[in-house]
Amino acid sequence: MAAMSLLSLLVGCTSSPEPAAGSRRPATSQPATSTSPHVPPGETTEPPTYTQPLVLAVHRSRGDLDVSERLARSIAKGAPTSWAQLAAGPGRADVRRGAGSLRAATRDSAVIAVVTASRVTPLVSTVSVDGVDPLRSPEAYPLTTSTPNEPAPPAEVTVVGDIMMGRDVGDVLAAHGDLGAPLRPLRRRLARADLTIGNLESTLSSDGVPQQDDSFAADPDVLHALEDTGFDVLSLANNHTGDFGERAFRQTLRRVDTSTIERVGAGLDRQGAWRPVVVSRAGVRFGLVAF
């Protein structure tokens, strides 16, 4: 029986634009101009400027939208726009720029906010231009603007579903002597993200009595495979975490705690189970809770 697990992700930008320690992705922006390190006396130089995508942000209910570069530039200039032009239904779009535009887009599905990429939050959807996403492929995105401050690189988050490497799966892996085999084809994709999250759909111990017919227990060494694949956080908020009783449950918690992976959604008491995990990646703080 599949588990029912709810993972909440809270995101907030930090005050510093610099990537956090341990971030896996380098900064993507480069200064358009730079200041010479040796300036002759009496001469001045222009301060460096940076370019970043100029994004069309819309309410999350609008889903994934894609427009032509010509239409995107027209919208960015504030030209009257209908949602039909974006293949997004009837009505007139309310194009806004400047302070308050992004907040308006989070609340009003009629609003298109024209903002720099560094201001975008997970509370809105971004419009692709000719198939190019401004956050995933900023170097190929056609609409840009100059800013005096270097923008932080976008943070990439990958969230997967159930990870169950016990029972028949575990037997096959043990027979081949390679617990990481099922994960290896996805390693590059999972490891490149700044933050990778999954749901551990089993215990890491069978030291106890099975609590249900389909009790799942994986070899504790699968943790090494999950670490090597790039997992940062595992949710234990599911119906298999306690499959072999309290002793196996405690062993599972202890084994995750001795790894490099954070856990969320389970603990020795309610307070421990509700404890959030907060990690920083690429200048962004992520808060996670799981139920």
**How confident is the chain (291 residues) per 10-residue block, as mean pLDDT?**
50 43 43 50 71 96 96 96 96 94 97 94 94 93 90 84 90 88 91 95 92 90 94 95 93 96 96 94 89 90
Is CATH 3.80.30 the classification given to domain 7-12+156-290?
Answer: yes
Q: Taking Cα atoms as reference points, which of 27, 43, 25 lies closest to residue 35?
A: 43
Round to whole Å and give the CA distance between 230 and 190.
6
pLDDT for res 30: 47
Look at residue 195 in the predicted model and tell me its pLDDT: 96
pLDDT at residue 3, rounded to an integer: 40
Token pair 């975008």: residue: 120
Q: What is the pLDDT of residue 107?
A: 96
Residue 159: CB atoms within 10 A of its CB come to 15
In our burial notation (b when 16+ CB lie closer than 10 A, e otherwise), range 41-79 reads eeeeeeeeebbbbbbbbbbeebeebebeeebbebbbeee
CATH number of 49-147: 3.40.190.10
Q: Where in the chain is the domain with CATH 3.80.30?
A: 7-12+156-290
| Distance in angstroms (rounded) separating the CA atoms of residues 50 and 153 | 12
The strand ranges marked E within 7-110 are 7-13, 50-59, 66-67, 81-82, 92-97
| H helical segments located in the chain | 69-76, 101-107, 167-176, 187-191, 222-229, 245-257, 270-274
Token pair belonging to 94: 């309310």
Q: Hey, how many other C-beta atoms are within 10 angstroms of the C-beta on 21?
A: 7
Specify the pLDDT at position 33: 44
What CA–CA distance (Å, rounded) separates 279 from 289? 12
Cβ(192)–Cβ(156) under 8 Å? yes
Residues of the chain with CATH 3.40.190.10: 49-147
